[in-house]
Amino acid sequence: MTKSNTPVPLKVVLRFDALTCAVMGSLLIGASGWIAGLTALSAGLLFWAGLALFPVAVFMAVFAYADKVPGWASGLIVTGNLLWAVASLLLPVTGLVSPNSLGWAFLLVQAVAVLCFTWLEWKAARLQPVVARPLA
């Protein structure tokens, strides 16, 4: 069996990331009270985090279906994902939220998932061909 070094194309990763943002956003909005009861995280925080995921999903989807993903867009997506993951971990570490054990697991799992997307998008963006633009 041979191992392929061909990375997943950036557009494919962006499509999947956009889909997971929309699904997670829907889950956080629709079940914020239920998730809050299980995790000891604020229902308001979960609701607004879910709502924030929709424009992110749209942004990713726009570029996932564009002819070419501009470097600034892929950089913004990678940076945004990285900040989301860091913020997810800083909230309980700094005491801004006090999740129970299930809440910690919820935050850790979603932070790791976001970091996986971040790595895949960063790697795919680096390997994307650069198209030179005319100066005039």
Query: How many C-beta neighbours within 10 Å does residue 66 have?
Result: 12
pLDDT at 3: 55
Q: Which residues of 15-36 are buried (b: 16+ CB within 10 A; e: fewer)?
A: bebbebbbebbeebbebbeebb
Per residue of the chain (136 residues), give pLDDT as tens.
555 555 789 999 999 999 999 999 999 999 999 999 999 999 999 999 999 999 999 999 999 999 999 999 999 999 999 999 999 999 999 999 999 999 999 999 999 999 999 999 999 998 866 554 555 5
Cα 19 → chain centroid: 10
Angle between helices 32-39 and 101-126 (to 10 degrees): 120
Local structure of 33: helix, strand or coil: helix
CA–CA dist 30, 7 (Å, integer): 35
pTM: 0.85
pLDDT at 111: 97
- In the chain, % helix, strand, coil (3-state, to 5) comes to 75, 0, 25
Structural domain spans, the chain: 10-126
Tokens 């609701």 label which residue? 47
pLDDT at 8: 85
pLDDT at 5: 59
